[in-house]
Chain A
């Protein structure tokens, strides 16, 4: 396989390439549904068990066993279909997709082929662009092969785990768009509470179909499929690399060969998968062990009525009801747990703290710590209760916003409740007018020139005096009160 010119890397799909070629990207996302049991048997779906500890005759493909569909899978799958505005088929069919591989115990995968349960719908990207969906279907996962030097080992814990495969139209035009699409999809499945969307544990996996065509050309180029992309970063890098690789082939007068690729995150390159070289004839046919999947209108209506609020609607509500801006609303609703954290904090702070303040604290201070400390958003060590308490302390003027940041840092580094930290460190704001007057007078006495200038009309010097007073008090004085009293004391010196 030819390699792109040296120095190019996937993340910088170079402008010169994009000036000449239009990438056409479609994604197939395998999303694990968070059921207690597998798609066709009662085995646990929990991640991380020892090899083959979550297996039974059914998912081991023992002779004589039969599949029985997990009803919860259907409900979750329908939830997804409704969330993207797709059509739920009244009748769909499970088919056998046949190929031999050690992680596929029956020698076929039960999936849906020409009659999937869901078609149409789409997702809106942050740019506002709408990406159409081709279909979603229900299928079972395969197991896992682990390779050593002389042998491979087969673990079937994952075999039979329920998946939905979400197939987009080839409408994504860049690695960025692909990553954004995936992030949208992930926040959606998490908001719907149908999947963990965990890329590392493999509960959210992506295959990318990538082709390029000279700008202006109508027909699509030959596509290559990159398998098993397992992080947002790798998806961007792999697609970026693949665009450059294909451009390089075309630039050198070559033709793109349709093939299945794997991405090596270490080298940042894609390469052909040898095991996929055989042209496949999967010999799909309807699985005679399962009847048609019939999803009644009534069932769909019940699921629709119970649909949770979706990120887009939630963001609209945050803007409408809380007065948040687009950025904060989008960021806070990008993850279900983050949105919950925001709403919980907001509920606990009471009326004295504006939603905007809560949003600011979460999108700046809190998210910074989440990212640097890799906190789990579902259960962050800094609880909504504590953050709310901190914000209440600001709201009732116990501490200033500036002191609050110090308290926040202590909460992060040492833990503890904000009120206790404030108390222990003596950070309570001074609102005693007598004490404030004493400090102000001391500052004014020390700055006769500035006082004279101020009284002579240089009113912007008020900032200088506030700063000096706060400095003198170690930042603990109530800034509102300082402002008010300072003006009175300055006015008094006019006479």
Chain B
């Protein structure tokens, strides 16, 4: 048996080796268990990790391989964001209100991963209920950026991004409501895809903004993103918003050396506004030059409604969240404040006030306000109109171009604590990513550079709904022409 070199391996390579029985799932997992033991605590990436359970899963997968099953993700360790339900395994959403909660069911994506031979390796730290852009809102402490542990990893899927960046697993699942996959992927120097709304079932994803949430993969390469997307996408009868389209077949569509000559890429003026740091601007500009050199046609265009996207997002996402988080009431599961003789009302209020963190309470209140009597039309209804207007702008843009390009985040990873007091500064970190959620578009972030301190910079590409193939082909072309995805942080 050839000695496995997982550190340099992609999920595609691991699965191929395990399928061919050149390496066992157990061996692969042992490597990642070791790295996890060495680094997960420092980085605070994991909220749940059980090495014995990982080994048991790996043994079962080896058994399935020996019995002749062809598993697309054979033996691939996957770190799953902690707002995705895992049967019998704690799922806290980074919140105290769900401390110790073990769901009685697996999310659709977790079922798909297990069926495909993946190892559900660990549960990743995240901003509480996916509300945040820095991971500072986790009740279980901030995740550290593997490139600089004084910096945030981005959020809300910060644990997932940092785990992949630190090679604690080749694959992680995140969720993206306003950029929560793409922004931390960018800040940690890995690839992250937010699929089209409806592409991946939300069954088992603890809802934040239901009309915006999508689960997606984070990985080192576009090929791995494609591989995992193929596994988790496709119709699910348990999610009424799940598209009737069949699962994607992206992995086989990506062909090394395929030309992007003639591909029309739109450069959105509004995404290159103030607040962008120098290194980011330079890296993205260089990436655009690379596309030009590959034969793509780049044109600048304007989507004037984009300037309303953050305002619309913070109404719609929080309005939906205010209802979605009403179920955390201390009645059936989760934290309950205990006090002799307390009233029902007091139980509700004290349980929720103690169980939710500061930012979550703020967003619940903002959303409650936006839906409350007398304010609905001025806020919720108006935000929906903004959302449609933004979607219309995108539709017009995609009549001219195939893909849109922008930085994923206007800045590289910022220092822990730097923005945590200013809600708007934090919200503006999502300025480039939020619009794709509002319009339901697929978007991907891939590494495209680093600042002078080595902090990663991400390039975002967006495509029309359900055009993941076009999107990934575009990303793949750049990845092949660059080396940024091959950088690893030194730990």
Contacts and interface: CB of A to CB of B under 8 A. Distances in A.
A64 B239 contact: no
A100 B329 contact: yes
B103 A289 contact: no
Contacts of A61: 327, 332
B203 A64 contact: yes
Given A67-B240, A100-B348, A62 B329 contact: no
Interface in A6-63: 57, 60-63
B241 A289 contact: yes
Given A100-B326, A108-B326, A62 B333 contact: yes
B238 A66 contact: yes
A91 interface: no
Contacts of A107: 323, 325-327, 329
A105 interface: yes
Interface stretch (B59-67, B131-139, B305-313, B366-374): B366-374
B202 interface: yes
Contacts of A100: 326, 329, 348
Contacts of A68: 237-240
B384 to A, nearest CB: 9
Interface stretch (B186-194, B205-213, B452-460): B205-213
Given A61-B332, A68-B238, A288 B373 contact: no
Interface in B343-378: 344, 348, 368, 371-373, 376
Contacts of A154: 331-332
B43 to A, nearest CB: 26
Interface string A284-325: 110011110000000000000000000000000000000000
6 closest Cβ contacts across the A-B interface? A107-B326, A288-B211, A288-B210, A283-B371, A63-B206, A64-B85
B202 to A, nearest CB: 6
B91 interface: yes
11 contacts: A62-B103, A63-B98, A65-B105, A68-B238, A98-B322, A98-B326, A105-B332, A283-B372, A285-B320, A285-B376, A290-B240
Given A57-B103, A283-B371, A63 B240 contact: no
Given A106-B323, A283-B373, A285-B320, 8 more contacts: A61-B332, A62-B333, A63-B328, A64-B203, A69-B240, A107-B326, A107-B327, A281-B373
A65 B240 CA distance: 11
A289 B333 CA distance: 22
Contacts of B241: 66, 288-291
Nearest to B368: A283
A64 B103 contact: yes
Interface of A: 57, 60-69, 96, 98, 100, 102, 105-108, 152, 154, 156, 281, 283-285, 288-291
A289 B210 contact: yes
Given A98-B326, A285-B380, A63 B368 contact: no
A61 B237 CA distance: 18
A66 B331 CA distance: 19
A100 B344 CA distance: 10
A330 B105 CA distance: 53
A60 B320 contact: no
A2 B325 CA distance: 42
Contact of A285 (B202, B319, B333): B319
A245 B460 CA distance: 69
A281 B374 CA distance: 10
A65 to B, nearest CB: 7
Nearest to A65: B203
Given A62-B105, A98-B323, A285-B376, A291 B240 contact: yes
B200 interface: no
**Best-buried of B101, B331, B380 by chain A (most CB within 10 Å):** B331
**Best-buried of B206, B320, B323 by chain A (most CB within 10 Å):** B323
Nearest to A283: B371
A106 B327 contact: yes
B139 to A, nearest CB: 15
Contacts of B126: none
Interface string B221-241: 000000000000000011111
B104 A63 contact: no
B373 A64 contact: no
B107 interface: yes
A67 B85 CA distance: 16
Interface in B79-125: 83-85, 91, 93, 98, 101, 103-105, 107
Contact of A60 (B319, B323, B332): B332
A102 B380 CA distance: 27
Given A63-B91, A281-B373, A288-B211, A105 B104 contact: no
